[in-house]
């Protein structure tokens, strides 16, 4: 009788361990998914904050001459959590571990009256989230266009200098704009899925503001 009781206890223990294992795997997967969503939301907040800070810093100026990451860092307009010190420079990084690059951008008259900022090493989910977010359909927001592409190398130059007005766009180059036209921003989820062609963490998204 004692041996039967011991046998049942061992089987029950193994069953409990199996259930705990399944629940643990499910919990880890759930945590990973939730953490990924949190980081994507954090990324959109970081991009919005940098955009506001840039426009505030240059509010009294007619152009964005000399704008770059170093100026924002030195002006104290980049949160410390977004700073990464390398041996040669201090870089702005986002919540998914990639870099954020900032450039002045030319208008139709060759003046630097706009700026562009780019985030690289994005996941497919992050790319879709950014493409489907309303970054400023209202003209007062200054938002002009969105760039969606893939790259395994660092963005080293603005990609949207030839986009000046909301009605211009060129999806073949990964450029989408606000306004009333086909594929206007924000993109619908199916359009965003078609535009975000990265299969690994090599999506690049850029935004242009005046």
For the chain, the structural domain boundaries read: 2-66+95-209
Mean pLDDT of the chain: 85
- Asked if the model's pLDDT at residue 72 lies above 60, the reply is yes
Report the distance separating Cα 56 and Cα 74, nearest Å: 15
Phi, psi (rounded to 5 degrees) for 36: -65, -45
Confidence band of 1 (pLDDT split at 50, 70, 90): very low
- Asked if the model's pLDDT at residue 29 lies above 50, the reply is yes
Is the Cβ–Cβ distance between 110 and 71 less than 8 Å? no
Residue 113, CA distances (Å) to 61, 82, 101, 125 in order: 9, 26, 17, 32
Confidence band of 9 (pLDDT split at 50, 70, 90): confident
Distance of alpha carbon 51 from its chain centroid, rounded? 13
Confidence band of 109 (pLDDT split at 50, 70, 90): confident
Sign of CA dihedral 96, 172, 155, 162: negative
Residue with the larger pLDDT of the pair 152 and 192: 192
Q: What percent of the chain has pLDDT over 90?
A: 55
Assign 69 to helix, strand or coil.
Answer: helix
Lowest mean pLDDT among 4-13, 63-72, 86-95, 105-114: 4-13
What pLDDT score does 140 carry? 77
pLDDT tens digits for range 120-170: 999 999 999 999 999 987 767 889 999 999 988 889 999 998 887 766 777
What pLDDT score does 53 carry? 95
- Asked if the model's pLDDT at residue 119 lies above 60, the reply is yes
């Amino acid at each position: 009788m004692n041996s039967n009781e011991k046998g049942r206890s061992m089987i029950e223990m193994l069953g409990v361990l199996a259930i705990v294992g399944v629940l643990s795997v499910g919990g880890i997967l759930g945590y990973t998914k939730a953490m990924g969503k949190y980081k994507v939301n954090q990324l959109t907040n970081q991009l919005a904050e940098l955009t506001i800070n840039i426009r505030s810093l240059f509010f009294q100026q007619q152009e964005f001459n000399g704008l770059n990451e170093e100026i924002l860092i030195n002006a104290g307009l980049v949160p410390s959590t977004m700073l990464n010190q390398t041996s040669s420079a201090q870089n702005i990084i986002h919540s998914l571990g990639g870099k954020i690059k900032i450039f002045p951008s030319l208008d139709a008259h060759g003046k630097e009256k706009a700026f562009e900022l780019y985030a690289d090493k994005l996941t497919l989910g992050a790319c879709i989230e950014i493409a489907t977010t309303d970054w400023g359909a209202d003209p007062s927001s200054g938002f002009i266009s969105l760039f969606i592409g893939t790259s395994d190398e660092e963005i080293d130059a603005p990609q949207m200098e030839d986009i000046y007005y909301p009605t211009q766009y060129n999806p073949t180059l990964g450029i989408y704009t606000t306004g009333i036209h086909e594929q206007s921003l924000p993109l619908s989820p199916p359009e965003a899925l078609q535009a975000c062609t990265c299969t690994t963490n090599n999506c690049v998204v850029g935004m242009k503001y005046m």
